[in-house]
Amino acid sequence: MRLLIRCLVLCLVVTAAAVPAGARGRPTPPTPTQQPGPVTPAALKAQANQAAAKYAAAQTAYAQLDDQIAALEGQLSDLAGRLGPLRERITRQAVAVYQGDVVAAAVTDFEALAAMMRSDHSAHIVADLSARDIPAIDTLLDTRQRIHDRQAELLARRHDQDVTMADLTAQRDQIAAELNAMAAAMPPPAPRPPLPRASRSASALGQRLLRGAPSFLCPIDGPLAFTDDFGAPRGGGRRHMGNDLLSPRGTPNVAVLNGTIETRPWAGGGITIFLRGDDGSAYVYMHLMQIVGAVPRWVAQGEVIGLVGNTGDAQGYHTHFEFHPGGGDAVSPYPLLAAACR
260: number of Cβ within 10 Å: 15
CA-based nearest residue to 299, from 219, 200, 194? 200
The Cα 79–Cα 143 span in angstroms is 6
The Cα 307–Cα 293 span in angstroms is 11
The DSSP call for residue 239 is: B
**pLDDT tens per residue across all 342 residues of the chain:** 444 344 433 343 334 444 444 444 444 444 433 445 556 778 877 887 888 888 888 877 877 878 888 887 888 787 777 767 766 766 666 666 555 555 455 555 555 555 655 554 455 545 555 455 666 667 767 777 777 787 788 788 787 877 777 777 777 777 887 888 777 777 766 565 555 443 433 333 334 334 444 589 999 999 999 999 999 888 788 888 999 999 999 999 999 999 999 999 888 899 999 999 999 999 999 999 999 999 999 999 999 999 999 999 888 899 999 999 999 999 999 999 999 998
The pLDDT tens digits of the residues spanning 243-294 come to 999 999 999 999 999 999 999 988 889 999 999 999 999 999 999 999 999 9
What does DSSP say about strands 282-291 and 252-254: parallel, antiparallel, or unpaired? unpaired
The Cα 155–Cα 151 span in angstroms is 6
Cis amide prior to 296 (ω within 30 degrees): yes
Q: Is 248 exposed, middle or buried (0-12, 13-18, 19+ CB in 10 A)?
A: middle
Residue 189 and residue 254 in contact, taking contact as beta carbons nearer than 8 Å = no
CA-based nearest residue to 261, from 305, 197, 198, 212? 305
Q: What is the mean pLDDT of the chain?
A: 74
DSSP 268-330: T--EEEEEEETTS-EEEEEEEEEE-S-SSEEE-TT-EEEEEB--SS-SSSEEEEEEEGGGSS-
The model's pTM:
0.58
The Cα 44–Cα 33 span in angstroms is 20
Its sign, for the CA torsion 202, 208, 212, 217, is positive
The DSSP call for residue 98 is: -
CA distances from 167 to 56, 174, 328 (A): 11, 10, 36
